[in-house]
Amino acid sequence: MEKSETLKDGKKVTIRPLTLKDLDRLMVFYRSLPPEDRKYLRVDVTDRKVVAERIRLIDQGQVFRIIALYKDKIVADGALELSADEWRRHQGEVRLIVSRPYRRKGLGMILIRELYFLATARNVETIVAKMMRPQKGAQTIFHRLGFREEALLPDYVRDLTGKPQDLLIMICKLGDMWTELDQFYSDSDWERCR
């Protein structure tokens, strides 16, 4: 799968699966993220070994990773992680990060839509998104897609500076998510002009 998409500012980006061959590009992307963004990620993405290990998980078939590239440079990264546990087989967890200069141009929604397609093809019923409380942009985008706050676990995780943070778990049925995604695009002048 490789797609060309147009952002709200007219820039064309390519969306495609991530592979191990992208490791150098991915490290450039992660290392360019400001500490304020990196500190809420679940692993230290400046550690090449950790990042390579995560890419290798793709081969096990439980994790799907996609990237957005502008002129061969990674500008966003998204993942759908399926649970190997029987009791959570119906769930898929989504994660994404967009580089700051590319935010509020519709790229997050484009990635979520692609992750939605991947989830549909794998019979996922429920989509889960987990974030720390300060990640306000994430909460807004997931609210907009019909996610509800399922749980708030006080001081459950630590950010990369070691500070305890509340973990927010947001959930949405896949079918409901499509209704909202569809609505987002039909409300959008940008999408009508594409």
Ligand X SMILES: CC(C)(COP(=O)(O)OP(=O)(O)OC[C@H]1O[C@@H](n2cnc3c(N)ncnc32)[C@H](O)[C@@H]1OP(=O)(O)O)[C@@H](O)C(=O)NCCC(=O)NCCS
Q: Which residues pair with 180 in a beta bridge?
A: none
**Which residue from 113, 23, 119, 22 is spatially nearest to 63, judged by alpha carbons?**
119
Contact range with ligand X by CB under 6 A, out of 63-71, 103-111, 120-128, 158-166: 103-111
**Scanning the structure block, which residue is given the tokens 């769930």?**
91
At 158, the amino acid letter reads R
- Binding letters toward ligand X, positions 18-37, x by CB under 6 A: -------------------x
Q: Which of 22, 30, 92, 106 binds ligand X (CB under 6 A)?
A: 106
Rg (CA), the chain: 16
Helices (DSSP H) in the chain: which residue ranges? Answer: 23-32, 35-38, 48-56, 107-121, 136-144, 174-187, 189-193
Residue 190 backbone phi and psi in degrees, to 5:
-55, -45
Asked if 15 touches ligand X (CB under 6 A), the answer is: no
How far apart (Å, rounded) are the C-alpha atoms in residues 44 and 26? 13
Scan residues 113-142 and list those touching ligand X (CB under 6 A): 129, 131, 135, 137-138, 140-141
Residue with CB nearest ligand X?
A: 108
Nearer of residues 65 and 95 to ligand X, judged by Cβ: 95
Q: How far is the CB of 147 from ligand X (least distance, A)?
A: 11
Asked if 146 touches ligand X (CB under 6 A), the answer is: no
Asked if 183 touches ligand X (CB under 6 A), the answer is: no
Q: How far is the CB of 53 from ligand X (least distance, A)?
A: 20
Binding residues for ligand X (CB under 6 A): 37, 95-98, 103-109, 129, 131, 135, 137-138, 140-141, 144
